[in-house]
Each structure stands twice: as C-alpha cells, then as structure tokens.
Amino acid sequence: MKAALLEAFGWPEPPLNITEVQDPSIGTGEVLVDVLATCVAPYAAEVFSGARRYPLEPPVISGVGGIGRVVAAGPDATRLAPGDLVWCDSTVRSRDDAVAPDITLQGWSSAGEGGLRLSRHFHDGPFAERMAVPTENAVALGRVAAEDLPRWTALGILLVPYGGLLAAGLQAGETVLISGATGNFGSAGVAVALAMGAAAVVCPGRNAAVLADLERIFGDRVRTVRLTGAADVDTAAMRAAAPDAVDVVLDLLPPSAGTAPVRAAAMAVRPYGRVILMGGVGMLGGEDLALPYPWLMRNSITLRGQWMYPRTANHRLIQLIRSGLLDLGHERVTTFGLDRANEAVAHAAAHPGPFDRTVLMPHNSCTKGS
C-alpha cells in the first residue's frame, strides 16, 4: 500500500516520504480499515519538525484519527463487518489496567513509558491507504454521503473540547468560558458547548476578525472579549461578558500562549465553579501556572486536568452531529490526495483558524477546495 512516511524529524527537510510499504496485518482485538479521510492537524508541521518534542518514534506513518471502511475484523468483533463505515479514534488505551490505563494517540503521541510501549504496537496512523486499529476504536458511523466525509473528519478536533466539557459535567443552561476560543480547538469548543446546551459561551481573544466571525456564526449566545494583556482587566471583562456567572472555564491554549491568559481566564470562574485544563501551556518549558491556594480553597473551585476524552464520547458526539444539534455546515474544507501529503501539512499550518480543515484522502489523487 502507499503511505506518507515520517522517516526522521526535521520536516520539511526531510519531507514525508510518499512510498510503498507493507500492508498492516491484524490479530484478535484489531480491525483493518481502508482510510478514506483524515484531518491534518494545524500543528502537524510542528510535530514532524520535532518542535513539539512529541515522543513519536520514526519511522512512522503519522496522522491522528480518521474515517475508514472496514476491510476485515478480528474474531472478537461481533457487530462490525466488512464494508462498514467507521470513525477510527486515535486514543488507544492499554487493556490490562481498567483504573489507570496507559494511553497512546496512534501515530501521534503518548504519555509515559507505558504509553510509549503501547505506541510501538499501535504505531502507525492514517496517513496511508490502510491502517489497523483496536476493535474498540473503530466506531460505527452509519450512513454518510461520500461528499460529506471530509467534513466529518472534524470529529478529531471536536472530540477534544467535548472531552473537557464532559469532564466539567457541563449542564444545559450553564455559562462556559473557552480560553483559546479563536483557535482551531477553541472554536470547536464553542460549537460543542452550544450544542450541549450552554446558555452562553464567553470567547476571549485578541483577533477581532475571528471574534466577529464567532458572533456571526453563533449569534447572541456568544459573548466575545478583546483581551488587553492586563490580567486583572481581562478577568474583569470576561466576568462582565457573562450573562450570569461563569460556571465552567475550559482552557485549550497552545504551548506558545504562556500562562498569563490561562490564569486570567481561570480566575473568572464563579465560586464552586469548574476549571478544566486541556491545552499545551508549559509542555515546552517556561513558567508554570500559579493559581492562588486561598482562592481555590475558599471558593471551592474544582481544578482538573483532562487529556483527550472517554471512549463513549465518540458515539455521543456522533449522535450530537446526527441530531442536528452540532452543525458541520460551517466547516471550510480543503482536500489533498496522499501524493500531496507534504502540501497538506504546509496548508494546515498556514490555515489554523476556526473551522479551517485540511483533509488528506489517501484513496483520492485529486486536490480540491470545498
């Protein structure tokens, strides 16, 4: 089969090598799929260059999550069958510890020594014509029109904030503040929070054009705040933007953001509120996040870190989309064939904004915008 192989860090030199590799084989507990479409993360170039310092071991077929069609399933699969359309969830968990499983993001990243060991088996991701995934990670999609498949790859982005909002126990009618709302993951968080029934979403940011676009797309349930960089001023402005108190703060800022905007947003939450940390701040070094102990304690603030999402989130998010509560109509998609994988990575890096999706289609040699 054909694949885009990361042979060494340093992209774009060396670039991904578009080459023939051996087809993956499967055993019990695994499913083989034809990869139809996968969303190229805006920061893929940073991963492939080595700037993100991910514990990814080349040579590797990378990518993170995708849509596929089942070719074959292991003997323990009781419902999946060849021809089924599936979402291939990248979050792979070890099966020998139900309480604290090791995690790897297939073809992308991992946590700790256990996650790295797991990644050496579920090593390769979706930048290829075929891939093998754990049975539990092949989630049935049902009927999706072929022309809609590229938009459905947004699942890989939407699932991340959805996991954070599930961790927060978001209830319909509550107010959410999305720290990083003008970014790719943050804007997805805005859409998901509203689909889950948030009364309002406070969206701080510095990019006035993107803030205006969020208001245009989602209407008056979105409350935008132009950040000044003065922490106390920004915290006060975020509190004032909420129609009532801020119940949940979800941080999705990237490593480059620094801790100051994270802290300013967290401090806007109400007493007994919840703060969920899902971003990359501090992962490349620098100042750590400091929140006042007395403030946390006396206001009974729940502070939680969350990496990715529970397995059940896949099915539940798919249902949110199918119900019409979460609309994919505002997704702006540009597709690339596998032969142009390097162009796709460059395009994704140049188009990291809200609802911009760069999609690799391994069985399609054409390139088009939609």
Number of domains observed in the structure of the chain? 2
For residue 52, what are the domain limits?
2-154+328-369
d(CA 90, CA 126): 9
Pair 85, 136 in one domain: yes
Pair 166, 196 in one domain: yes
Residue 320 domain flag: no
Pair 82, 126 in one domain: yes
Pair 124, 247 in one domain: no
d(CA 146, CA 291): 48
3-class SS letters over the chain: CEEEEECCCCCCCCCCEEEECCCCCCCCCEEEEEEEEEEECCCHHHHHHCCCCCCCCCCEECCCCEEEEEEEECCCCCCCCCCCEEEECCEEECCCCCCCCCEEECCCEECHHHHHHHHCCCCCCCCECEEEEEHHHEEECCCCCHHHHHHHCCHHHHHHHHHHHHHCCCCCCCEEEEECCCCHHHHHHHHHHHHCCCCEEEEEECCHHHHHHHHHHHHHHEEEEECCCCHHHHHHHHHHHCCCCEEEEEECCCHHHCCHHHHHHHCCEEEEEEEEECCCCCCCCCCCCCCCHHHHHHCCCEEEECCCCCCCHHHHHHHHHHHCCCCCCCCEEEEEEHHHHHHHHHHHHHCCCCCEEEEEECCCCCCEEC
pLDDT of res. 370:
44
Report pLDDT digits (tens) over 326-355.
999 999 999 999 999 999 999 999 999 999
Residue 146 domain flag: yes
Pair 142, 12 in one domain: yes
pLDDT band of 365, cuts 50, 70, 90 = low
Pair 170, 114 in one domain: no
Q: What CATH number does the domain containing 230 carry? A: 3.40.50.720
Pair 134, 276 in one domain: no
Q: Are 150 and 228 in contact (CB under 8 A)?
A: no
Report pLDDT digits (tens) over 128-159.
999 999 999 999 999 999 999 999 999 999 99
Q: What is the arithmetic mean of pLDDT over 178-185?
A: 96
Q: Whole-structure pTM over 0.75, yes or no?
A: yes
Residue 315 domain flag: no
Pair 135, 174 in one domain: no
pLDDT of res. 368:
52
pLDDT of res. 209:
95
Parallel, antiparallel, or unpaired: how do β-strands 200-205 and 222-226 relate?
Answer: parallel
- 29 beta partners: none
Q: What CATH number does the domain containing 125 carry? A: 3.90.180.10
Residue 8: pLDDT over 60:
yes
Q: Give CA separation, 345 vs 70, 160, 215, 338, 366, in Å.
A: 26, 20, 29, 11, 16
Report pLDDT digits (tens) over 245-265.
999 999 999 988 889 999 999
Pair 38, 121 in one domain: yes
